[in-house]
Structure 1
Amino acid sequence: MTRVESVETGGTRAPRAGARAWVALAVLMLPVLLVSVDNTVLSFALPEIAIALTPTGAEQLWIIDAYPLVLAGLLVTMGTLGDRFGRRRMLLIGATGFAAVSVVAAMAPSAALLIAARALLGLFGAMLMPSTLSLLRSIFLNRDQRRMAIAVWASAFSAGSALGPIVGGFLLEHFAWGSVFLIAVPVLIPLLIGAPLLVPESRDPAPGRIDPVSIILSMATMIPVVYAIKSFATDGVSLGAVAWALGGIVMGVLFVRRQLRAPSPMLDMALFRRGSFSGAILVNLLSVVALVGFLYFVPQHLQLVLGLSPMVAGLALVPGMAAVIIAGLTVVPISRRIAPHIVVPSALVFTVIGYLLVAFTAAGNGAVPLIIAFVVLGIGIGAAETISNELILSSAPAAKAGAASAVSETAYELGAVLGTAVLGGIITAFYRGVLVIPDGVPVEAARAARETLAGAYTVAQELPERVGSALWEAAASAFESGVVVTSLIGAALVVAASVIAAVTLRAPSSR
């Protein structure tokens, strides 16, 4: 049998975990909760950051994307190092660094320094995320229990996203925008205390030697490719972006060739021959693209176009986040009886409908259509994410759980980058293309208004009332038009995910 064929996880007959394991799960949810809170809070804080630090359109995207870009480049490396040196040890190092750098980010005086701090957060975040998921593989041997644990773990993303707008909205209404980064400190302190007491250390018993060349190749693959995608989304096709993309692809080919030839590879490429693994990776990626892309433009629409406060805008998204959590937990008993290639496409139909509701009802109709659309959209995302993460983890041997978890997290973070860069880039490009600057707006003010919606809002407040009102009406109309186009593209991406799930997530062959 091949390495993949020998991977079976014991199913429901494996030993069942006790109460201590579920308490350990609660501890492992803390970094997941933190990362999701951080991402959502940042989206809501972006308008205030844009006003305070006056970033360009490209810098505004980089403030969000610097973290997942570095994270995506290092996840496979950190997951493999966790397999070798200890997943709990890697988790504790990442938590300590993440908390320290969060304090630095909170005090950043410029957009450039905030981007640098976000990149450093990506370094320590890469130590956190694979460790949490891979430790679940070693704690919960019984597959039914593990499926529920992963559903709870995945719900932490949604819970954090739901909690983030509320906590973030409160902080943004009472304190400066830097306060949103300080959330990391009280969240990670319990982790640093509880993990050594409750979470058992686990590692690969036969890890093999460290391969520095594979580590370099993995980073040289991810970072240029993600950077090229961002460049295409924000600046269009250019020679530099094409060169970055081709460079990353070449490095990826070299990485794969090296893994196939290595006696103890950093990443077992045979895993990708299994449809349940590779298909789940793609479903994971496209689902996150849809979710993060939605969460990029909706907070701006709620706060700037509709005029809601950060707190109220956050509360408006809570029902959708609750739908993600409930769907993720509800799908667990369903997935025991119905095959993934049926459950996942059926669930993602809801996400398609949610995006179509945004496209055809959001413009000019207030916040209620967006709230309803997010509830419907969240049902599909919650169910698809739970099943795809469980399939990814159960397809890998326990000794390589860190590497497999890193692949899952890489798909998640790459999806976060694509959601912001592609869908965010599209709405930014469409906004700039259709915005008509009214007569009487100075050249410098017009340039700032074309950069971002927040820039138009700031400029409009400074101009005479008649000219400022005309400029803001034009900017809001242009942004709403961009929301319609972006929503239709998001719906198309989810349709693609549904087709992939229907084709690839079938039962494995009898071998």
Structure 2
Amino acid sequence: MLLGISLAYFMVLLDTTVLAVAGPDLIAALPTDVIGVGWATTAYTMALAAALVLGGSLADRLGADRVFRVASAGFGIVSLACAVAPNLGTLLLGRAVLGLFAAGVVPSSMALLAALYAKPDDRTRAISWWAAISGAAMAVGPVLGGWLVELSGWRAVFVINAPLAVVVLLLCRKRLGVARHPRVISPIPHLGLAATLAALTLAITEAGQLHWATAFGAGCATLVLAAVTVRADRRSVAPLVPDVLRRNRPVWSAFAWGTLVNYALTTVLFAVPLVVAEGSLSVGITLLPMTVLVAVNPLLTGRLVRRFGPLVPIRLGFAAFAIGLSAVAVALMGDQRPVVLAAGLLGCGLGVSWTLPPLVGFAVSNAPAGATGAVGGILNAMRQVGATVGAATAGAVLTVQAGGVVVFVVAAGLCVVGLLLTVRVSSPGSS
């Protein structure tokens, strides 16, 4: 069943990485521009971020296995709908719905892993395999996406999800009977989070186009919506963040790390295909130094976690990511681009594969009883917030001169911040 759970997450990640190399074809076919491609990415990540906490709560309330199966089936069906979208507006709607189903897959898969592997060592090994199998989407996605785009255009990248969903459902036929934890679900905070992310994305996008009046208005709306959402969440009978997690410092540290890692990762996946300006398949091959490591290295990361604990590989990962992103920025300024770019992408691959598996295990290990679904939802919601802001920022900045260098320098700086945030964190099991 571990294979099926991992393939489901593979499918969710594949939908992001496959689309990454389809940007130029999407621009030509619909037609649209870099901003439109950015919205095609952020429509998915915004919906995913806004609904992940809800997905975690549903997994705890209705049973992780039930939510997992329904969400996986819905993901495959809606992917086919995206493949036949006649225009950008329809595609954006489909991508948003796709993000909602993905929000059911991710936290329920983490809850299933926690139920299948109760012992910490077994769970660490399982998460390592889960990260490696799902991380293969990073390796396969850009190359497969590039091949599909050159063969049949951007629509083909969505068709691939349907057979994957069927395989997931076949591998996960067995019912686990995961314990349910009844919870009231309040829609207002979730809607507020979605509106806040949409306003923030609009503000960043408009600022990148130098539409300052609209950007200012959207920025003010973001602050107001954020304040209203926080206030509504505190008064809600079913808050986004359960009371048992509000003062859990290790868990919140993992949330912050996940946000920064996904910001940096999305910057690479979104910006490199547009900056390098090569064919879709060539871009996929260019990304291989990073994506192959993301698929292979988590197994070695698991050994580091078992020997040194989770904080050592997390620190190594942020350091490697900062160095790698800096090298990519340098590659975009000089004549040695292929060599330096490959070296930089290797550093980024080490960064992702050293940070994500241990921070997932760190968060789950510090989750109170009955809150693993909520932790999984919040963790992945924060990661998608990072992805949403990363894609929006890259899409906006790439429209200005030397924007390709700027987006990578900013991402490198944020990874340095992530490294500094690990200094005062306790080991798993403490709070």
If the TM-score is normalised by the length of the shorter chain, which range does it land in?
over 0.9
Pair 1:325–1:161, CA change in 2 (3 A): closer
CA 1:255–1:387 in 2, change beyond 3 Å: closer, same or farther?
A: farther
Corresponding residue for 2:328?
A: 358
Matched, 1:408 2:382: no
1:367 aligns with 2:341: no
Aligned position for 2:412:
491
Q: CA deviation at 1:156?
A: 3.3
Distance 2:18 2:202 in 1: 25
Secondary structure of 1:336 counterpart: helix
CA deviation after TM superposition for structure 1 residue 25, in Å: 0.8
Match in the other structure for 1:216: 188
Letter in 2 for 1:397: P
How many residues were matched structurally? 424
Secondary structure of 1:425's counterpart equals helix
* 1:325 counterpart residue number: 295
Q: How far is the alpha carbon of 1:506 from its aligned partner?
A: 4.3
For residue 339 of structure 1, report the CA deviation from its aligned partner. Answer: 4.3
State how far apart, in whole Å, the 2-side matches of 1:251 and 1:193 are.
43
What corresponds to 2:283 in structure 1? 313
Corresponding position of 1:190: 167
Q: What's the CA shift string for 1:148-181, capped at 9, x where partnerless? A: 2112222234210111122212211211220110
CA 106–79 in structure 1, closer or farther in 2 if over 3 Å, else same: same
Look up the equivalent residue of 2:425 and give its one-letter code: T
TM-score by length of 2: 0.92
Asked if 2 retains the 8 angstrom alpha-carbon contact of 1:290 and 1:494, the reply is yes
* Offset of residue 367 of structure 1: 2.9
How much has 1:265 moved relative to structure 2? 6.0
Residues 348-407 of structure 1: per-residue CA shift (max 9 Å, x gap): 111111011112223343433222211112112211111111111111234222111101
Which of the numbers 237, 255, 263 marks the counterpart of 1:289?
A: 263
Whether contact under 8 Å (1:286, 1:494) holds in the other structure is: yes
Query: Are 1:172 and 2:172 an aligned pair?
Result: no
1:37 corresponds to: 14
- Among all aligned residue pairs of Structure 1 and Structure 2, give the percentage whose two residues are the same amino acid: 28
- In 2, distance between residues paired with 1:361 and 1:319? 15
SS state at 1:502 partner: coil
The answer to whether the aligner puts 1:114 opposite 2:91 as a matched pair is yes
Cα pair 1:345 1:498 within 8 Å, conserved: yes
Q: Distance in 1 between matches of 2:84 and 2:267?
A: 27
CA contact (8 A) 1:98 1:121 kept: yes
Q: Which amino acid aligns with 1:310?
A: S
Letter of the 1:246 partner, please give it. Answer: L
Unpaired runs of 5+ residues, structure 1, are: 1-23, 435-480
The one-letter amino acid paired with 1:70 is A
Q: How far did residue 104 of structure 1 move?
A: 1.2
Once residues 367 and 189 of structure 1 are traced to their aligned partners in structure 2, the CA distance between those partners, rounded to angstroms, is: 39
Name 2:179's counterpart in structure 1.
Answer: 203
Is 1:388 equivalent to 2:359 in the alignment? yes
Equivalent positions of 1:109-508 (< 5 A) are 109-197=86-174, 199-204=175-180, 206-208=181-183, 210-211=184-185, 214-220=186-192, 222-236=193-207, 238-258=215-235, 262=237, 267-302=241-276, 304=277, 307=278, 309-363=279-333, 364-428=335-399, 430=400, 434=401, 481-506=402-427
**Aligned equivalents of 1:174, 1:83: Cα separation in 2:** 42
Q: Distance in 2 between matches of 1:355 and 1:291?
A: 10
**Structure 1, 311-320 or 106-115: larger mean CA deviation:** 311-320
The Cα shift of 1:313 comes to: 2.0
Judged with a 3 Å threshold, the aligned counterparts in structure 2 of structure 1 residues 34 and 507 are, in CA distance, closer, same or farther, namely closer
Match of 1:75 among 18, 32, 52: 52
* 3-state DSSP of counterpart to 1:399: coil
Gaps of 5+ in 2: none
Change (3 A) 1:345 1:189: same
SS of alignment partner, residue 396 of structure 1: coil
| Aligned partner letter, 2:404 | V
Taking the aligned partners of 1:187 and 1:272, their CA distance within structure 2 comes to 37
